Each structure stands twice: as structure tokens, then as C-alpha cells.
Homo-oligomer: A and B are copies of this chain.
Amino acid sequence: MAKLAFNISMSLDGFIAGPDPSEADPLGKGGEQLHEWAFGLKAWREPHGRDGGEENESTPVFEELWGNAGASVMGRNMFGGDGPWGDDPWNGWWGDDPPFEMPVFVITHHEREPLVLADTTFTFVTDGIQSALDQAKDAAGDKDVALGGGADVAQQYLAAGLIDTMQIHLVPVLLGRGTRLFDNLSGTDFGLEETRVIEAPGVTHLSFRVR
């Protein structure tokens, strides 16, 4: 049975995006710092058509993120918001060749036909997180389902007890403002078991099993 594996980069003060995200700056002010550990890797740069980059302790962590995943779920904001869908459809923030290269299920309130961009198919799910997870598990086969964000969808999956494993890429910056990952979780009751800690340049990768 496919597991739901949640992965996200977070600042030490708990933010996964800076304030005031926009199409030009989807990660919000200062939010790019949270992903620099990945942007500097050869393993990230090569599939994005860029030269250079380094190999370090983050390389195997980055490679297993996508290697284990057969499908993905995300919230509409991570896809790119609802946008001006219509004659001139908005295809999200990921360009013509999104890096997912697997079925992606976008949780939204707006019905829309599936969107195929190169090797990635976005399916828009309007009947909730459980439905999106069920569809993603079917699509994932014997691989896992990856959950990346945003915060609102991650909080819904956490509160519902549907997440099996969680990996926080903890970045030593303080953003001060933005979108908090762990919010609106008052009253949830579950335990975490830390299963792995990997120290790497500019990031500490913390893995947990969610009970």
C-alpha cells in the first residue's frame, strides 16, 4: 500500500514561505532561501538544464524525494493559484515542463479538466483531501505518494492523521513573517518518531514516522 510522504523546507522559525507571495515571487519575500540547499545541487540543476552544481550530503536526500514517489498531491496555491482560467488558461507556476513527471492531484474548489504539460499530468480534485489521496495512491502503484504543500493542505492531512512519514528540511534562517507550516493544529493528537537526521550544507534533514 502506498504511503503518504510529506516533504517540505522550513525556516528555523517555522515558515515555509515568506510574506506577500506573487506570480513573480511565488515563495514570498525571503522564501527562496529555504530552497537554496536544493538549487545548488547538481542533482537539481541537471534536470533543469543547468550546468554545474555540487554533490554533498543533500544529494541522496534530494534524489530519494522523487525516486520513491509515484504520484503527488498538492494544494491549489502550490500549483499556482486558481489563475484566470478560461480562454487563456493559467497553467500554474511550473512552466511548460514541470519537474514532477508523474501524476499530480491538485486539491481545489474549482473544477477543471486535467492539464497535461510534457510528462506531468495535473488532475484537479474538488471533493477533498481523502479523494485526492485515494486517486494518488491508485496512480502511484507500488511507490509512495508525495505531499509537498502548501501549508493549508499539509495541515489538513496532518490533522486527519493521513500522513505516514514527514521530512522537514530545516533551514537556519529566521523569516519573521510568512506562512507557518505548523498552524491551526490545536487539538490534534499524534506522536512523531524521529527516524533520521542528516546534516548538510545550509540545511538539516529531519525524518519522522507519524504515529
Restricting to A5-32, which residues have a CB under 8 Å from any CB of B? 12-14
Cα distance, A197 to B12, chains bound together (Å): 13
Q: Are A185 and B192 in contact (CB under 8 A)?
A: no
Restricting to A152-178, which residues have a CB under 8 Å from any CB of B? 158, 168, 170, 172-174, 176-177
Q: How far is the CB of A193 from chain B (nearest CB, A)?
A: 7
Q: CB < 8 Å: which of B158, B174, B182, B186 contacts A192?
A: B174
Q: Are B193 and A172 in contact (CB under 8 A)?
A: yes
Using CB atoms, name the residue of chain B closest to A190.
B174
Chain A: interface secondary structure?
A: loop
Which B residues are CB-close (under 8 A) to A168?
12
Which B residues are CB-close (under 8 A) to A100?
none
Show 5 A/B contacts (Cβ-Cβ < 8 Å), sorted by A. A13-B14, A170-B206, A176-B182, A194-B204, A204-B206
Q: CB < 8 Å: which of B14, B172, B188, B202 contacts A176?
A: B188
Restricting to A178-211, which residues have a CB under 8 Å from any CB of B? 180-182, 185-188, 190-194, 197, 199, 202, 204, 206, 208
